[in-house]
């Protein structure tokens, strides 16, 4: 952070409004600063190919990975303003930032996104399918078991009966996914030019088109050919990027009808999700 000007330092230690909005000279300074650079922000939920697409984006634009959260532990992220100030001030390298952050579009996060002029990209995928992929990861990845997702996994999770493990994922983890979609779908409806919603099924059919669409939205457009080469390069090392099977419908092999219905009931608490419910539980 060495070399930050006094305005940036003052901004790093300033507080937004209680609802997360940045106002007045504080907001004007950040907005002017943010016009200097672009950024690719993949605000995907876990197990929606975010790490894979992030890696392809870095290849396509010759960008750099920057983690914009204060800490990864817990995984329910909030952007950390000092990191963004440092990036937009030119103190975190010259390449365009690419970041992948498991973030809900809560009001405080929207305030940060709006003032920095970020254009986040979210991904719609079946929640049972993501939970199934997450379950696979928990069985082999100690770091994933320790991280949690706005929750703490029991230390004996792996020794629990399979049905109990499934209940934990549905009762404790699935509500985060429901909140994720409730916030992002609402944000996208209010600010369609700012938020891009991708569809996982379409991504599976044509990942190069998904990448091209995401980069265009972020203001760093690349040709279809460049995106296709980037996807091919990353695909060769997909296991390194935690890319699992990417198969639609796996959730119904992992969870009972009762558990799937429980996920559907969670979505029912959010009227904004009514039009998306079939896609989110299929």
Query: Which pLDDT does position 22 carry in this prediction?
Result: 84
* Mean pLDDT in residue range 183-196: 97
Contacts of 74 (CB under 8 A, 6+ apart): 147, 148, 149, 150
**Percent above pLDDT 90 for the chain:** 73
The answer to whether position 58 is within a domain reads yes
* Number of domains into which the chain is organized: 1
Q: Within a domain: residue 180? A: yes
Confidence of residue 23 (pLDDT cuts 50, 70, 90): confident
In a domain, 1, yes or no: no
Residue 96 inside a domain? The answer is yes
- The verdict on residue 78 lying in a domain is yes
CATH number assigned to the domain comprising residue 176 = 3.40.50.300
What's the pLDDT at 70?
81
Calculate mean pLDDT across residues 56-76: 86
Tell me if 87 is assigned to some domain: yes
Mean pLDDT of 277-282: 92
Span 160-171, pLDDT tens digits: 999 999 999 999
Q: Which residue from 97, 96, 100 is spatially nearest to 43, judged by alpha carbons?
A: 100
Residue 4, pLDDT score: 64
Q: Is residue 132 a contact partner of residue 255, using CB atoms and an 8 Å limit?
A: yes
The pLDDT value recorded for residue 247 is 75
State residue 245's pLDDT score: 60
- Considering the domain boundaries, does residue 63 fall inside one? yes
What's the whole-number mean pLDDT along residues 190-214?
96
Q: What's the mean per-residue pLDDT of the chain?
A: 91
- 237 falls within a domain: yes
Residue 229 belongs to domain spanning: 6-281
Arithmetic mean of pLDDT, 201-228: 97
């Amino acid at each position: 952070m060495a070399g930050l000007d006094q305005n940036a330092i003052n901004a790093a230690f300033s507080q937004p409004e209680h609802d997360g909005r940045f106002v007045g000279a504080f907001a004007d300074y950040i907005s002017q600063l943010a016009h200097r650079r672009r950024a690719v922000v993949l605000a995907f939920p876990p197990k929606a190919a975010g790490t894979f697409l992030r890696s392809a984006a870095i290849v396509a634009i010759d960008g750099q990975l920057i983690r914009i959260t204060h800490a990864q532990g817990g995984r329910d992220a909030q952007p950390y303003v000092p990191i963004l100030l440092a990036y937009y001030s030119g103190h975190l390298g010259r390449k365009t930032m690419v970041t992948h952050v498991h973030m809900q579009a809560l009001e405080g996060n929207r305030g940060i996104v709006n003032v920095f002029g970020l254009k986040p990209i979210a991904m719609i995928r079946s929640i049972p399918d993501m939970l199934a992929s997450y379950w696979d990861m928990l069985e082999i990845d100690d770091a994933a078991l320790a991280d949690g997702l706005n929750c703490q996994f029991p230390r004996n999770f792996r020794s629990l009966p399979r049905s109990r493990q499934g209940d934990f994922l549905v009762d404790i983890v699935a509500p985060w996914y429901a909140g994720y979609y409730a916030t992002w779908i609402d944000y996208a409806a209010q600010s369609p030019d700012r938020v891009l919603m991708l569809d996982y099924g379409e991504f599976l059919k044509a990942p190069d088109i998904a990448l091209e669409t995401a980069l265009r939205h972020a203001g760093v457009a690349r040709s279809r050919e460049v995106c296709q080469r980037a996807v091919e390069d990353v695909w060769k090392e997909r296991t390194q990027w935690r890319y699992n099977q990417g198969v639609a419908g796996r959730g119904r092999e992992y969870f009972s009808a009762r558990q799937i219905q429980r996920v559907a009931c969670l979505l029912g608490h959010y009227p904004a999700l009514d039009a998306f419910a079939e896609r989110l539980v299929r």
